Amino acid sequence: MLDSRERLGSLDKRGMLSTIEQMPKNLSEGVRLGTRMSLLRFSPSKVVVCGMGGSAIGGDLLCEWVSSISEVPCSVHRSYSVPSHIDKDSLVIVASYSGDTEETLNMFEAAQKKGARIVAIASGGELAHSAEKLGIPCAKIPTGMMPRASLGFMMGAMIGILERTQMVSSGEQVEETVRVLKSVIDSCKPSVKTADNPAKRLAHELMGHVPVVVGYGLSRPVAKRWANQLNENAKSLAFSSEIPELDHNEIVGWMKDGLSRGFAAVILDNEQGNSALSRRVEATKNMLTRVASVHRVKSLGRGPLAQMFSLVLVGDYVSVYLGILRGEDPSANEPIDELKSVLAKK
C-alpha cells in the first residue's frame, strides 16, 4: 500500500510528505532568518521559549541542544502566563506559527509586563502585527504550512537568534545536520520501497498498536515530537516517556497490566556517553520485550543537533505513513479546529 504512488497521493492531499523533504532547506533558512534579526548585543541570564503545539516543540529541542553546549539555562513554557522568574535579563522567544495562538499572545503580553527582552517568531497574524507595532524584533517565516510542519523554520530561527546574542556557535552543527537529514530522506522518502524503507516498515509494525515513544538524553524531547506527530498525522493515540523516569513508576504498569500487549514501545537510541544509562536502557528494553512489541530507532550523526534531527525526521515519516495505512489525510486537523471553534464562540 505504501509503495503505491496513487494511494499516497489520494490521501496526502496537501503534500505533507513533500513538506517533510524540505526540512534541511527550512532549517538552514530558519537559521539565516534568526541571525539577520536586528538584535542589540545582549547576554541573557536565561532563555524562555513561549509557545504551544507545533510551535513550541522546537523550543523543547532547542533547550536540550543548548544544555549540551551552554551554561545559560533554557526552558519552554506552555500556558497563558509566564514564569515569575522572568526579568529584564531574560530572553523570551515567543513562537506562534500562525501568530494568532490564544495562549501565546497572552504570554507575549505577560513577558512585556516583566520587562524581558522579547523576540517573536511567526508567519504573520496578531503576534507579528503587535511585534512590529511595538518595535519588537520578529522573524517572519513563510506562510502556508501546517504549524507542525514548520519545525525546521521555527527551531532554525531560534538557533539563529541565540547565535545573534553570541550565546551559541552553530555553524558546523547545522551543516552536519543538513547532511544527515538528506541521508535520512534518501532512505525514507516515498519512492523507496517498503523492503528498504525503515520508516515504512516501522509504520506497518505500529499498525494496530498504541505507540509509546521512549527517549533518553538527547532523544527525550524528540520522543515528545514523535508522539505529537503520531497524534496529528496518523490520527493515532500515542504517548511519550523517558528513561530513567520510566523505570521508577511506569515500568510497573507495563509489566503488570495485560493491556500492555496492545501497546508498542519505540525506543529512540542516541549517543550519550553514559555507561550507567546505557545499561539501564538495555535492561528496560529487555523487560518490555517480555510484555509488548518493542522497536528501536538509532540516531545518525556525531553532533547533538544532527542526532536529534535525524530522529525527528524518521518520526515525521513514520507518522505520515501510519496515517496513510489508517486511511487518513495526514494534514487534516478536524478535532483541533472544532475545539477552536467552540472556544471562539465562548
The rounded Cα 174 to chain-centroid distance in angstroms is 16
Q: Is residue 232 domain-shared with residue 156, that is, in the same domain?
A: no
Catalytic residue among 88, 248, 345, 346: 248
Q: Residue 264 and residue 42: Cα distance in Å, rounded?
A: 46
pLDDT band at 170 (very low <50, low <70, confident <90, very high): confident
Considering the domain architecture, whether residues 138 and 242 belong to the same structural domain is answered as no
Which strands make up the sheet holding 117-122, listed edge to edge? 74-77, 46-50, 90-95, 117-122, 138-140
> Looking at residue 40, what is its pLDDT?
64
Query: Does 340 participate in catalysis according to the annotation?
Result: yes
Residues 250, 230: Cα–Cα separation, whole Å: 21
Quote the CA–CA distance of 142 and 168 in Å, as a whole number: 25
Does residue 277 lie within any of the structural domains?
Answer: yes
Given a cut of 80, whether residue 41 has pLDDT beyond it is: no
Q: What is the DSSP string of 217-253?
A: GGGHHHHHHHHHHHHHTS----EEEETTGGGGTHHHH
The residue with greater pLDDT, 120 or 337, is 120
278, 159: one domain? no
One DSSP character per residue, 111-133 reads HHHTT-EEEEEESSHHHHHHHHH
Query: Does residue 167 have a pLDDT over 80?
Result: yes
- Rounded to two decimals, what is the model's pTM? 0.95
Please tell me whether residues 240 and 134 are part of one structural domain. no
The answer to whether the CB of 34 falls within 8 A of the CB of 156 is yes
DSSP E strands, the chain: 46-50, 74-77, 90-95, 117-122, 138-140, 210-215, 239-242, 263-269, 293-298
User: At 162, which CATH number?
Assistant: 3.40.50.10490
Same domain, 142 and 235: no
- Statement to judge: residues 253 and 145 lie in one domain: no
Is 140 assigned a catalytic role?
no
d(CA 113, CA 107): 10
100-123: pLDDT as tens digits: 999 999 999 999 999 999 999 999
Distance CA 322, CA 143 (A): 26
Which range marks the domain in which residue 106 is found?
22-172
Give percent of the chain above pLDDT 90: 85
Instruction: Tell me what pLDDT residue 93 has.
Output: 97
For the residues 2-28, what does the mean pLDDT come to?
A: 93
C-alpha cell at 21: 523533504
Max mean pLDDT range (36-40, 54-58, 269-273):
54-58
Residues 128 and 202 in one domain: no
Q: Of 172, 200, 218, which closes a domain? A: 172
Instruction: Return the DSSP state at 281.
Output: H
Whole-number CA gyration radius for the chain:
20
E strand or H helix at 28: helix 23-35
Domain count, the chain: 2
Q: Look at residue 346 in the predicted model and tell me its pLDDT.
A: 60
Q: Are residues 253 and 136 in the same domain?
A: no
Predicted confidence at residue 277, as pLDDT, reads 93
In this structure, are 165 and 197 located in the same domain? no
What whole-number distance in Å separates Cα of residue 126 and Cα of residue 129?
A: 5
- Is the pLDDT confidence value at 64 over 80? yes
Note whether residue 316 is domain-resident: yes
Query: pLDDT tens, 200-244?
Result: 999 999 999 999 999 999 999 999 999 999 999 999 999 999 999
Q: Select which of 29, 64, 103, 232 is catalytic.
A: 232
